[in-house]
Structure 1
């Protein structure tokens, strides 16, 4: 129930949905004397959520900072825990793996293993395709690693979890709690992921990936309506709501 409810609420409260609902209400409530405020609300939301300067600033403040690679190289980790959420498992044909914008997660994980920083890659995540066992993302990624000759004796696949809290809880069945893990996920998702794994008893070293923000100086283009800004706000809202829901449910 929590899984379904969280997905539904997060969709309804996405910035693009809020803009659409405000303008839809403007056209529906034609006789409401305060109808003009719906138009103002829709325009205000559109202006805020398409402003890349605001989106970039808020997302940078939320996401985890890049890990210091030189410091991490001074240690070795038995397990690098890679959280899924980087492929399109519904795309045909099934003779290859289709990656999305989060592919940086697995690219960084492969690099960390090749440099000897992690010994074993633990891939966690089944996704929302509960009725299609062949589409569990951890299995899909395992197939990809086999195709590039990755040493599969150094891979552990966990394909039952549907969200971050389940990933953390199930991980304790495979990894001893006293082991410090190197946690690999998106920078925006890292605060919630670290909270879940620490709640499960793990000592966590974060390794954030997939940075949607930039560190460039302010430019005039950042204040023009931008689809990229809307995407950043969507990511941020998803994480804010996920973090808040997990906190209320006692998962953090």
Structure 2
């Protein structure tokens, strides 16, 4: 089911233009995990890593990192600032990095980013593959129409081996949990008029 839900990957070689903007959605670090002198990434780190790689390949000119804090009581460095520091450390020029640090969810990522980006410039959106449908719909609702660059896939090759077919997998339950949560989020966003 995850393979059916996630959009197909975009290869670097298939990108035949230089986008004005890479829009990277945050939600990929663990700011409350010590030690606090570094960025603690979770599975979604591909979002920023692939944007940086495309910047170095000349396929994106500027990177907008969107995300504040998704928690009600937040103390410390906002995620977008930590990711901007990481991008600079990876050789992205400071003049090519922009930050939107007030958003707390995908709807706000799109709304607040839309106020920063000129509507006539090209953009490509970086978020997790399972989350791309909802994120892209939120941006389109604001009048921005970024191309999609899905990252950090959960789906993969289906193995028809005896152990894969017969032995129950806790990971499968985790994937169902991720999908159901995303479907509920998509439904809630439709009902709220965010998409």
Hey, what's the Cα distance between the residues in 2 that align with 1:63 and 1:191?
8
8 Å Cα contact 1:90/1:135 also seen in 2: no
What is the aligned partner in structure 2 of residue 249 from structure 1?
192
What is the aligned partner in structure 2 of residue 113 from structure 1?
55
Hey, what's the Cα distance between the residues in 1 that align with 2:33 and 2:126?
25
Shift of 1:59: 0.8
Hey, what's the Cα distance between the residues in 1 that align with 2:87 and 2:76?
16
8 Å Cα contact 1:129/1:136 also seen in 2: no
Shift of 1:108: 0.8
- Give aligned pairs, total: 194
For 1:4-83, what aligned pairs fall within 5 Å after superposition? Answer: 58-72=1-15, 74-83=16-25
For 1:75-224, what aligned pairs fall within 5 Å after superposition? Answer: 75-132=17-74, 134-223=76-165, 224=167
Shift of 1:185: 0.5
Hey, what's the Cα distance between the residues in 2 that align with 1:190 and 1:141?
20
Hey, what's the Cα distance between the residues in 2 that align with 1:101 and 1:63?
16
Higher fraction of helix:
1
Q: Of the two, which has the highest radius of gyration?
A: 1
8 Å Cα contact 1:83/1:123 also seen in 2: yes
- What root-mean-square deviation, in Å, do the aligned CA atoms of Structure 1 and Structure 2 show? 1.5
**Unpaired runs of at least 5, structure 2:** none
Normalised TM-score (structure 2): 0.93
Hey, what's the Cα distance between the residues in 2 that align with 1:68 and 1:145?
21
Shift of 1:232: 1.1
Hey, what's the Cα distance between the residues in 2 that align with 1:248 and 1:77?
32
Taking structure 1 as reference, are residues 149 and 79 closer, same or farther at Cα in structure 2, changes over 3 Å only?
same
